[in-house]
Structure 1
Amino acid sequence: MSRSTPLRDVHESLGATLTDFAGWLMPLRYGSESAEHTAVRQAAGLFDLSHMGEIFVTGPQAALALDYALVGHLSALAPGRARYTMIVNPAGGVIDDLIVYRLQDDEFMVVANASNYEKVADELVTRAKDFDATVEDRSDQYALIAVQGPKAQEILSRLTDADLENLKYYAGLPGVVDGRQALIARTGYTGEDGFELFVANQDAVPLWEALTREGTPYGMIPAGLSARDTLRLEAGMPLYGNELSTGLTPFDAGLGRVVKFDKPGDFVGRAALEAVKDTPPRRRLVGLVAQGRRVPRHGYPVTKDGAVVGEVTSGAPSQTLGKPIAMAYVDTGVQDGLAVDIRGSQEPMDLVELPFYRRK
């Protein structure tokens, strides 16, 4: 049975199409997913992300525990800042990609994907056992609401006195939003400016309503998982289970920059990752833009002269480009003459560097 976020009744009242996603009943769309996508690019969208996991690591050696547990150098992170990183297995395969917030010197919040947060929490408990640190999964205590788009700061500033103007990208600060305590983070998964608000469950509905009230005059509308997926695809952002898995290392995904070999001490997966860091991967992650109108989808073969040279990991129509796009792993060295086998038809594709879209 799917779990519900604190905003389920709100979604139903708005006529959302609800679907199971990673064991959660989530809004897929409220009406037109293309309208939701466009609103985020041009004004703002309001998202319920309460299915994400929040795992706290606290104590005198919390930073050292995370340095050992994750591939990033988290002890170098300043309080109030956030970092994109990964947790890998001993073979270097990606268990999940994460955002870690350093709230205080001895307090970190690890935000994990909905499908993986229980696994991540268990791994962190195991990996922190030799450190003076405590790991606690507090996912059930938090709702997460995101405002994403070029009008996000204008909208949110109507509800808070927090210094949004000087809040940097990948930073967070505690603040009061519409009279409610929140962690205000300048992060997102859409390729636009925006904020993610971590609040207590009981504050989710009134905060959503307040944001709706203030955001509607700016053109903000609620947006579901479909729009979130096409937005992150245009921005070239990986999705766990598509572009990332335990069968792939960060280097395979073109994200080797998140692996910090210069941090002191050992970390889980270090030896395996050091062994492959200077070896070009067999396949690389690229962008594909369709020359025609047919849409390449997850799992479709990528071909060259009829031979399979890769596989699509994510694909959808792009509202911004006006063409179907996809991310795919293709054999290293292949540059042109690509097609995607769409139900037996070889549809020609142009290979491009990621991302497809970058905000000005």
Structure 2
Amino acid sequence: MDNNLKKTPLYETHLKYGAKMIDFAGFAMPVQYESILKEHEAVRKSAGLFDVSHMGEIIIEGKDSDKFINYIISNNIAKISDNQAMYSPMCYANGTTVDDLLVYKFSNEKYMLVVNASNIDKDYNWIFENKSGYNIAVKNISNEVSELALQGPKAQEILQKTTEYNLDDMKYYHFDKINLAGVNCLISRTGYTGEDGFEIFLRNDYAQSMWEKILAVGEEFGIKPAGLGARDTLRFEAGLPLYGNELSDDITPLEAGLGSFVNFEKDFIGRDALFKQKQEGLKRKIVGFEMIDNGIPRHGYDVYAQGEKIGYVTTGYLSPTLKKNIGMALISSKFANIGNEINIIVRNKPLKALVSSKNFYKKNYKK
């Protein structure tokens, strides 16, 4: 493995647990420990613990913070209160996607953006380029903060064993600063798996002890350390987009089916382009599909219908939960109706598939 890769504070711990390491967005990250399938099943049935310290954290503070963030994201942060988080795309002027991110609101004058690892520098530069005229300070704290994600139906029971804070009081997409196992952390009821769970932000020097503590108290519940392989199969089954697959600087939030996170009642970068796209109708969109013929679809495979190329697969797997070959694809809108037959080109052979909902798995969030 490339020695120039960035390492999270848990790198040595991953090696101790037998992780298979890969290059992900310039970081040496665990793709799996025991197996992707077993880690996936642990999260669906009990709990899994992920190191997501490669994600970026950017603090925005100052008296114009709320105005500025509402200008750079498509969702409307006026709809959330202090200690609440919000998901949103962030767009270029042409409507395509800079990134999709979470906004954590501490107050009208202080926010944290949690951004994708592959986009940290790009996002920071984009924010910096657009902050002229706003009374704000921007700080990239990504290298100072570790992030763990505890996900699964047993996540609350496990985490409760480390704190006196009543986790029943923490609603979905809310957060608080609480003491976990003697360490001050920021905890949010968020995740990327389709299950209930928590994301834990803490100082780098406490990451290893927190990892070990959560795995120890979770042992009786069947917790497993989980890698990025299971994180991808879990988010995919739940119909959640991955930047670089279902979203990119070539794909708009509307094409990705994220129209509910685009608020046209306010001004934001990309609004005019997206409004025009909505008015004119989408020429292409992200759809789900299920294979009829036997073959596993993979990212980048071509999609055909009626003898013409209509798009490409953005994500595809043999679903560990559903035991079916399923995928998501960006295709021409005229073929996007549920039930339409399409062909996925697998090893130069056209294999039949049917367009389906992207929500392959019913999400189990605690609302």
TM-score (norm 1): 0.97
Per-residue CA deviations over 1:302-359 (Å, capped at 9, x if unaligned) read 1224322221000111011101111001221224221211012221112211210013
Contact 2:289 2:358 in 1 (8 A): no
Distance 2:65 2:120 in 1: 18
Counterpart AA for 1:181: N
Distance 2:202 2:233 in 1: 26
Distance 1:161 1:283 in 2: 50
Count of aligned positions = 358
Distance 1:276 1:33 in 2: 39
Tell me the residue number matched to 1:319: 320
Distance 2:138 2:272 in 1: 25
Of residues 165, 177, 201 in structure 2, which corresponds to 1:162? 165
Distance 2:240 2:61 in 1: 29
Tell me the residue number matched to 2:55: 52
Counterpart AA for 2:352: P
Of residues 340, 343, 347 in structure 2, which corresponds to 1:339? 343
Deviation at 1:191, TM superposition (A): 0.5
Tell me the residue number matched to 1:309: 310
SS at match of 1:277: helix
Distance 2:159 2:241 in 1: 27
Deviation at 1:166, TM superposition (A): 2.1
Distance 1:306 1:76 in 2: 47
Structure 1 gap segments, 5+ residues each: none
Between stretches 150-159 and 288-297, larger displacement belongs to 288-297
Per-residue CA deviations over 1:146-188 (Å, capped at 9, x if unaligned) read 1000000000000012231121111111100110011110110
Tell me the residue number matched to 1:78: 81
Counterpart AA for 1:347: L
Distance 1:10 1:279 in 2: 52
Residue 257 (1) aligns with residue 253 (2): no
Tell me the residue number matched to 2:175: 172
Contact 1:69 1:128 in 2 (8 A): no
Per-residue CA deviations over 1:290-309 (Å, capped at 9, x if unaligned) read 22442100111112243222
Residue 215 (1) aligns with residue 215 (2): no
Of residues 129, 134, 137 in structure 1, which corresponds to 2:132? 129
Q: 1:214-293 maps to which residues of 2 (within 5 A)?
A: 214-263=217-266, 266-293=267-294
Distance 1:201 1:169 in 2: 25
Residue 13 (1) aligns with residue 21 (2): no
SS at match of 1:153: helix
Structure 2 gap segments, 5+ residues each: none
SS at match of 1:85: strand
Tell me the residue number matched to 2:142: 139
Counterpart AA for 1:131: Y
Counterpart AA for 2:21: L
Counterpart AA for 1:163: N
Contact 2:85 2:173 in 1 (8 A): yes
Of residues 329, 354, 358 in structure 2, which corresponds to 1:354? 358
Distance 2:162 2:116 in 1: 28
Of residues 22, 36, 41 in structure 1, which corresponds to 2:39? 36
Percent of matched pairs sharing the same residue: 41
Contact 2:294 2:351 in 1 (8 A): no
Distance 1:161 1:293 in 2: 51
Distance 1:108 1:236 in 2: 27
Residue 196 (1) aligns with residue 191 (2): no
Deviation at 1:138, TM superposition (A): 0.5
Distance 2:348 2:278 in 1: 37
Deviation at 1:131, TM superposition (A): 1.1
Contact 1:155 1:215 in 2 (8 A): yes
Counterpart AA for 1:24: F
Tell me the residue number matched to 1:206: 209
Distance 2:280 2:20 in 1: 45
Per-residue CA deviations over 1:225-246 (Å, capped at 9, x if unaligned) read 1000000110011111111111
Counterpart AA for 2:142: S
Counterpart AA for 2:258: L
Tell me the residue number matched to 2:152: 149
Deviation at 1:4, TM superposition (A): 0.2
Distance 2:213 2:131 in 1: 40
Moved >4 Å (runs of 4+)? none
Contact 1:293 1:323 in 2 (8 A): no
Counterpart AA for 1:304: A
Deviation at 1:129, TM superposition (A): 2.5
Distance 1:9 1:104 in 2: 37
Distance 2:180 2:333 in 1: 48
Contact 2:155 2:196 in 1 (8 A): yes
Per-residue CA deviations over 1:112-133 (Å, capped at 9, x if unaligned) read 0000011111111222221111
SS at match of 1:96: strand
Deviation at 1:77, TM superposition (A): 2.1
Per-residue CA deviations over 1:59-107 (Å, capped at 9, x if unaligned) read 1111111111221222442101110011111111101001000022311
